[in-house]
């Protein structure tokens, strides 16, 4: 028996204890296993039955499958080491129309529990008429007004038309900011509007704190303002700005099963700068073929995968893009993407949303990919819109590709591409992902504003900026999900170094987040603690599974 187990280990197969007991009783099963050309990673009793099927002597009900062996515990004082691997040659795209490769099956079938809570796909109603814009902004105002009224200092807000009548010692208002300007004397002037009218609110130049508050306001956001009545004229005097924010909270939703979700973003299949070696390393990890025991234990828990936009590099996205493409046809880019996602083991359910490089309408919210591209992917991939809110085993995940990062960085002081978490916190505080209309992020005027954060998620995910970030805010896990592309010509021109091939993983039963580093090539500019913006809540080296560049 010991010789048999040793031979199986030599061939890369591990034997579960109950399977070993079965082999000791029935040596013929071991001989049948050794005769096979390929062996599974883990040999269980169920695997023995599949390998050597034998009809029962009398009809009986099938036995329940055995419980899988418990994964080794995570130890906070150790760090999993990744193995250095030789470079993997870049895989070639399939012949157009060829079949998808068979998906690897490594674990038992898993009953996935997912509900799509919010998605524009199949629900788009806008035609671009003026009335569409009116409905869109009215829906935004109504939703955020409801949140603001839960704040004590603004709960008694009055319509703007009532404020203009006078007679109030203190005037709380809620409205959309339609204009921001600075007077010749340095005062800040905010124009606030609701369904009943508009009013100008003044932040005096001699009050530095009020000026800072006023300078934080951006166009089209919904805010609460507490004002004093005007001394002269019809200008209200600003006392305080109130934002909806999220309540202080304890533990969020948790799954009752031992499972996890991994998150990818900005893969850019089809680009010359796509990181093939890192991608191959990720595939080997999620298929339980690579990493130390701790990393494999985490991979076993991953039963869900969210692909957060920019699945392919696309075509015609920017001038001269054709020079940066390894696959110049969009259809073949998606074909290659489908082939690669089909290599992920078959008990992992994938949810893929588009980004600004994908071939859907650029205006947000974006619907899922068209059918002609969907059919290039395996059945395990469900295509959804951007943004999308999912309930995965009861844990609510808001996933947004993050195109509006460009607008936050240009409109709000202190924002930068190197620190995407800062912009994410602003989205949460203002309860909106794309507040400003008319900047780099086009907005489709749907009758329902899908870009409002109308309920508080447990996990909030963005991408787009090719950085990596992990932090928390008032019980929400904030993740910016890296990329799978090395530095592009555009990034080099602007001096930006990406942080590629870092995969966030969130355990659904504990809420614990991890960031696994699969990048083993030349360091991509990540050489100091904090550059990846791992917040204080997660600034624990043990939570980064590769002792590589990020600490």
Angle between helices 2-10 and 27-34 (to 10 degrees): 20
Which fold does the domain 152-242 belong to in CATH?
Answer: OB fold (Dihydrolipoamide Acetyltransferase, E2P) (2.40.50)
Q: What is the DSSP letter of 432?
A: B
Residue 84 has a pLDDT of 38
Residue 516: pLDDT band (50, 70, 90) is very high
**Looking at residues 373-385, what average pLDDT do you find?**
96
Question: Which residues on neighbouring strands pair with residue 14, listed in sequence order?
Answer: 42
| Residue 531, pLDDT above cutoff 50 | no
**Looking at residues 390-397, what average pLDDT do you find?**
98
Q: What are φ and ψ of residue 404, in 5° steps?
A: -70, -10
With vertex at residue 516, the alpha carbon angle to CA 249 and CA 291, rounded to the nearest 5 degrees, is 135
Range list for CATH 2.40.50.140 in the chain? 152-242
* pLDDT above 70: percentage of residues in the chain: 80
**Is the CB of residue 370 less than 8 Å from the CB of residue 128?**
no
| Closest listed residue to residue 504, CA positions, set 304, 313, 336 | 304
| Residue 55, pLDDT above cutoff 70 | no
Residue 10 has a pLDDT of 67
- What's the whole-model pTM score? 0.79
Distances (CA, A) of 246 to 156, 157, 434: 19, 19, 17
Distances (CA, A) of 49 to 27, 33, 266, 526: 14, 11, 42, 49
What sign results for the dihedral spanned by CA atoms 528, 530, 531, 537?
positive
Q: What is the DSSP letter of 419?
A: -
**pLDDT, tens digit (0-9, with 9 covering 90-100), for 443-497:** 999 999 999 999 999 999 999 999 999 999 999 999 999 999 998 887 888 788 8
Q: What are φ and ψ of residue 397, in 5° steps?
A: -120, 120
Q: What is the DSSP letter of 160?
A: H
Angle between helices 17-25 and 27-34 (to 10 degrees): 110
Environment class of residue 269 by beta-carbon count within 10 Å: exposed (0-12), middle (13-18) or buried (19+)?
buried
**Is the CB of residue 264 less than 8 Å from the CB of residue 279?**
no
| Residue 527, pLDDT above cutoff 80 | no
| Residue 394, pLDDT above cutoff 50 | yes
The structure tokens listed for 136 are 């869109």
* pLDDT above 90: percentage of residues in the chain: 63
Range list for CATH 3.60.21.50 in the chain? 114-120+249-543
The lowest-confidence range among 2-6, 105-109, 148-152, 545-549 is: 545-549
Give the span between the Cα atoms of 367 and 388, in whole angstroms.
Answer: 10
| Closest listed residue to residue 14, CA positions, set 43, 49, 35, 37 | 43
Give the span between the Cα atoms of 414 and 420, in whole angstroms.
Answer: 11
**Which CB contacts under 8 angstroms, 24+ apart, belong to 508-512?**
508/254, 508/255, 508/257, 508/259, 508/260, 508/261, 508/304, 508/392, 508/393, 508/395, 509/254, 509/255, 509/256, 509/257, 509/258, 509/259, 510/254, 511/251, 511/252, 511/254, 511/395, 511/458, 511/477, 512/543
Is the domain spanning 114-120+249-543 CATH 3.60.21.50? The answer is: yes
Residue 258 has a pLDDT of 95
The structure tokens listed for 527 are 């050489």
Check residues 263 and 9 and name the one with the higher pLDDT. Answer: 263
Q: What are φ and ψ of residue 18, in 5° steps?
A: -70, -30
Give the span between the Cα atoms of 478 and 458, in whole angstroms.
Answer: 9
Angle between helices 293-301 and 276-286 (to 10 degrees): 80
| Closest listed residue to residue 120, CA positions, set 457, 360, 436 | 360
């Amino acid at each position: 028996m010991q010789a048999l187990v040793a031979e199986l280990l030599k061939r890369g197969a591990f034997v579960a204890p109950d399977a070993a007991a079965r082999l000791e009783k029935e040596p013929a099963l071991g001989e049948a296993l050794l005769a096979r050309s390929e062996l599974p990673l883990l040999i269980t009793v169920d695997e023995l039955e599949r390998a050597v099927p034998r009809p029962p002597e009398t009809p009986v009900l099938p036995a329940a499958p055995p419980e899988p062996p418990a994964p080794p515990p995570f130890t906070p004082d150790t760090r999993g080491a990744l193995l250095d691997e030789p470079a993997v040659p870049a895989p070639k795209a399939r012949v157009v129309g060829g079949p998808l490769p068979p998906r690897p099956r490594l674990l038992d079938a898993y009953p996935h529990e997912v509900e799509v809570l919010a998605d524009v796909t199949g629900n788009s109603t806008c035609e671009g008429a003026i009335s569409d814009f009116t409905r869109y902004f009215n829906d935004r105002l109504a939703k955020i007004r409801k949140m603001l009224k839960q704040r004590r200092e603004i709960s008694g807000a009055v319509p703007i038309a009532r404020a203009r009548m006078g007679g109030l010692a203190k005037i709380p208002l809620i409205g959309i900011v339609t204009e921001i300007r600075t007077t010749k004397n340095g005062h800040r002037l905010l124009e606030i509007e609701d369904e009943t009218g508009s009013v100008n609110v003044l932040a005096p130049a001699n009050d530095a704190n009020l000026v800072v508050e006023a300078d934080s306001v951006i166009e089209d956001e919904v805010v609460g303002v507490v004002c004093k009545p005007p001394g002269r004229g019809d200008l209200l005097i600003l006392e305080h700005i109130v934002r909806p924010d999220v309540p202080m909270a304890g533990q969020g939703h948790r799954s009752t099963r031992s499972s996890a979700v991994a998150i990818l973003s900005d893969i850019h299949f089809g680009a010359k700068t796509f990181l093939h070696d890192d991608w191959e390393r990720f595939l080997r990890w999620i298929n339980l073929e690579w990493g130390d025991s701790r990393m494999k234990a985490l991979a076993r828990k991953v039963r869900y995968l969210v692909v957060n936009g920019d699945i392919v590099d696309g075509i015609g996205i920017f001038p001269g893009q054709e020079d940066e493409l390894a696959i110049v046809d969009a259809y073949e880019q998606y074909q290659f993407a489908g082939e690669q996602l089909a290599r992920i083991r078959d008990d992992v359910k994938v949810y893929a949303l588009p980004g600004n490089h994908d071939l859907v309408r650029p205006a947000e919210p974006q619907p899922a990919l068209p059918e002609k591209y969907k059919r290039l992917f395996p059945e395990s991939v469900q295509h959804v819109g951007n943004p999308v809110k999912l309930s995965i085993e009861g844990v609510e995940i808001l996933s947004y590709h993050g195109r509006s990062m460009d607008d936050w960085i240009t409109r709000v002081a202190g924002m930068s591409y190197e620190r995407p978490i800062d912009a994410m916190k602003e989205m949460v505080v203002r309860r909106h992902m794309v507040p400003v209309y008319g900047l780099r992020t086009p907005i489709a005027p749907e009758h329902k504003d899908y870009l409002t954060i109308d309920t508080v998620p447990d996990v909030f995910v963005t991408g787009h900026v090719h950085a990596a970030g992990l932090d928390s805010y008032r019980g929400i896990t904030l993740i910016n999900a890296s990329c799978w592309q090395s530095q592009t010509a555009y990034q080099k021109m602007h001096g930006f170094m990406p942080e590629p091939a870092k995969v966030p993983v969130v355990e659904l039963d504990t809420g614990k987040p991890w960031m696994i580093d699969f990048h083993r090539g030349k360091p991509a500019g990540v050489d100091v603690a904090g550059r990846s913006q791992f917040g204080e809540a997660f600034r624990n080296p043990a939570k980064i599974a590769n002792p590589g560049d990020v600490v």
